[in-house]
Structure 1
Amino acid sequence: MFSRISGLIAAIAFAATMGFSPAQAQEQKPADAASAAVETPAAPVAEAAAPAAHKVDNPYGLMAMLDHGDMVSKGVLGLLLIMSMGSWYILITKLWDTTKLAKEAKDVRATFFKKASLADGVKTLSEGSAFRYIAGSAIEASEHHEGALTENIDHSSWVTMNIDRSVADVQARVQTGLGFLATVGSTSPFIGLFGTVWGILQALTAIGVAGQASIDKVAGPVGEALIMTAIGLAVAVPAVLGYNWLVNRNKSVMGQVRAFAGDLHGVLMGNRQVAKR
């Protein structure tokens, strides 16, 4: 009898458990769905806020240096800017001049000495050309070799002197600006270093007055000052490379100019020998 009552109680308890579990599961599912619905919109918000957290403005950059710098720092920066602009102007203009002169040398070698006379050859040269200047000076020296002071100089030496003087004038014109490039290349790193030393001095003075020597108080001003050294190097490197490059180009072009001058001297001396006959 007792076993039957125990079995009946166990059956009732099992049935009650089975009836309660689906209801509880159904109640948990809406609750889980509701919680998921609440959490789902928050995820994009968190993801959208994540990039904003990584976006940090640099308070110690070039603009900060301009805002916080004194007249000395701004003057150093302005001087480096002027030196950089001058270097690039010289590089571009001298590249154009040497390219033009090399093209003229190629054309002169191909056409000038094939003309019937030197006068016809000079007419083919453009106004303002270095080769026309040399040819005109040589012809004038050959035709006008008179005077009490110059008659003691033989004709060949007189013409040679005038041609060499004309070639030297052309070379001086071609090399204009190279001294500025050399000056910029050698001094701009030290000018930038002076700006760095001055900036560090001002930063350390401000830190000493404030009495705070934390890493953020030291790293920021010192980093701003070091920008000057980087700018000085950025100005110096193109100037040095451009100087060496233009020197090599000038040597090549002036070699062609001197070759033309030597051929012109030979033609002038040959015409004189023919005229004597």
Structure 2
Amino acid sequence: MSLLAWWLKADALTQLAALVLLAMSVMGWVVILWKARQLRRASADLPRCLAAFWQAPDLAAAAQSLEHFDREALVLPMVVAANSVATQTADGSLATAGARAQRLTRALRDALHGVLTRLQWGQVLLATAGATAPFVGLLGTVWGIHHALRVLAQTSSAQVTLAQLAGPVGEALVMTAAGLAVAIPAVLAYNGFGRVLARIEAELEGFALDLRELLADGGRGASAPAASAETAHSNF
């Protein structure tokens, strides 16, 4: 039976389940392709960004250098946030109150959270598709079997043969296969992206800690001894 013939024979609930699975599949593959490109660029850019930062003479030069390497804005937001704290003057507000280390912690934490939130976008959609698509397909199968049995019960034949039953049941099982076809790529992509995100997150957290320790003593990066920068880089 062709797809069009199956669609015309299906009832409203089966068609709705099929449309939901189609929407999940399209959105899932869009997210998979987009995140694969994003994380590939991030994995390639992060080592170069860290090397460019530690080779820069000060924060301003580091930010300017990172503009050429940091295509996914992984390190640059934290450098900009740290530079804003380093050049900040007290104006009597709570934003400038407290020790430099406290203000650096707050600024770097907010910048890091923004980067990680952007990197993790799409993971919830993949997890949702992977968890719910099989059940949507199963719902379509159960309802399709129920619909097929009800139609067979209304036939004038006194006895239903196996051939009459196998066709509608087999068509209903297509929904289960469709649900699995949507869920399996989403789950595999979610797990694969999760491993890459965990590695990138650990590296960014280490860099944020090193940057805070570098600037917490009052230095702005330009006059910090080279040995201190190398020590912080080795700790990362």
Instruction: State the TM-score bracket (shorter-chain normalisation).
Output: 0.7 to 0.9
Counterpart in 2 of 1:88? 29
Unpaired runs of 5+ residues, structure 2, are 224-236
Partner of 1:176: helix, strand, or coil? coil
1:74-153 paired onto structure 2 within 5 Å: 74-126=15-67, 129-144=73-88, 146=90, 147-150=92-95, 152-153=97-98
Cα distance, 1:171 vs. partner?
Answer: 0.5
Partner of 1:210: helix, strand, or coil? coil
Quick check: 1:145–1:155 contact (8 Å CA) kept in 2? Answer: no
Query: 1:172 and 2:117 equivalent?
Result: yes
The whole-number CA distance in structure 1 between the counterparts of 2:7 and 2:130 is 24
The whole-number CA distance in structure 2 between the counterparts of 1:261 and 1:178 is 24
Counterpart in 2 of 1:205? 150
- What's the TM-score, normalizing by structure 1? 0.72
- Structure 2: which amino acid aligns with 1:138? A
Deviations 1:80-138 (A, max 9, x none): 01101111111111111112112221112222211222111110112762211111011
Counterpart in 2 of 1:19? none
The whole-number CA distance in structure 2 between the counterparts of 1:134 and 1:273 is 14
Cα–Cα, structure 1 residues 78 and 273, in superposed 2: closer, same or farther, change >3 Å?
closer
Deviations 1:59-87 (A, max 9, x none): 4x644422311222222111101101111
Number of paired residues? 216
1:178-217 paired onto structure 2 within 5 Å: 178-212=123-157, 213-217=160-164
Unpaired runs of 5+ residues, structure 1, are 1-58
Per mean C-alpha deviation after superposition, the further-off stretch among 127-136 and 109-118 is 127-136
The whole-number CA distance in structure 2 between the counterparts of 1:165 and 1:99 is 24
Query: 1:272 and 2:219 equivalent?
Result: yes
Quick check: 1:87–1:180 contact (8 Å CA) kept in 2? Answer: yes
Per mean C-alpha deviation after superposition, the further-off stretch among 265-274 and 202-211 is 265-274
Counterpart in 2 of 1:260? 207
- Structure 1: which amino acid aligns with 2:36? L
The whole-number CA distance in structure 2 between the counterparts of 1:267 and 1:131 is 15
- What's the TM-score, normalizing by structure 2? 0.84
Quick check: 1:145–1:158 contact (8 Å CA) kept in 2? Answer: no
Quick check: 2:42–2:72 contact (8 Å CA) kept in 1? Answer: no
The whole-number CA distance in structure 1 between the counterparts of 2:74 and 2:132 is 33
The whole-number CA distance in structure 2 between the counterparts of 1:71 and 1:200 is 14
Quick check: 2:38–2:72 contact (8 Å CA) kept in 1? Answer: no
Moved over 6 A (4+): none
The whole-number CA distance in structure 2 between the counterparts of 1:263 and 1:257 is 10
The whole-number CA distance in structure 1 between the counterparts of 2:26 and 2:104 is 42
Query: 1:245 and 2:192 equivalent?
Result: yes
